[in-house]
Amino acid sequence: MTKKKIYISYDFANDRAFKNELVAASQGEGANFKIANWSMKPENINAKTLKEIKFHISKCDALVILVGENTATSESVKQELDLAKALDKPIIPLLAHPQNTPPQGAGEAHDWSPKTLSELLK
């Protein structure tokens, strides 16, 4: 089985635990996805970093946005979302909690589970 490569976009300051959970799931038996790269630190946003992030996203099959409590206002997530849209990459927002709100323009959000992500990546 060829694993889909995903780029994880998340609120770096608040959602590392959610990111770690997804990374662990990618290493589980039967996972059809692998983590190719993940979100930039907000303090590192500059033209050079954006060019690098665009390159990494271009090499992935999808951008997965981990939607935590503050994700909708994260500047780095917004930048990564814009880059993925410009590259016409599939965008998959996954909810850490049902009450969270995805960033504007991210599309329909889905409840998080490894099974959900695996289904969406088929």
CA atoms within 13 A on the CB side of 11: 19
pLDDT for the residue 1? 66
Between CA 62 and CA 4 the distance in angstroms is: 8
Please tell me whether residue 74 adopts helix, strand or coil conformation.
Answer: coil
Judge contact between 111 and 95, C-beta under 8 A: yes
Helix axes 75-86, 47-58, angle to 10 degrees: 50
pTM score: 0.93
Q: What is the CATH number of domain 4-120?
A: 3.40.50.1220
What is the number of other CB atoms lying within 10 angstroms of the CB of residue 55?
Answer: 12
Please tell me whether residue 18 adopts helix, strand or coil conformation.
Answer: helix
Q: What is the pLDDT along the chain (122 residues), one digit of tens a residue?
A: 689 999 999 998 889 899 999 999 999 888 999 998 877 777 778 888 899 999 999 999 999 999 999 999 998 899 999 999 999 999 999 998 889 999 999 999 999 988 899 999 98
Residue given tokens 């599309």 in the structure block? 107
Residue given tokens 């500059």 in the structure block? 46
pLDDT for the residue 87? 98
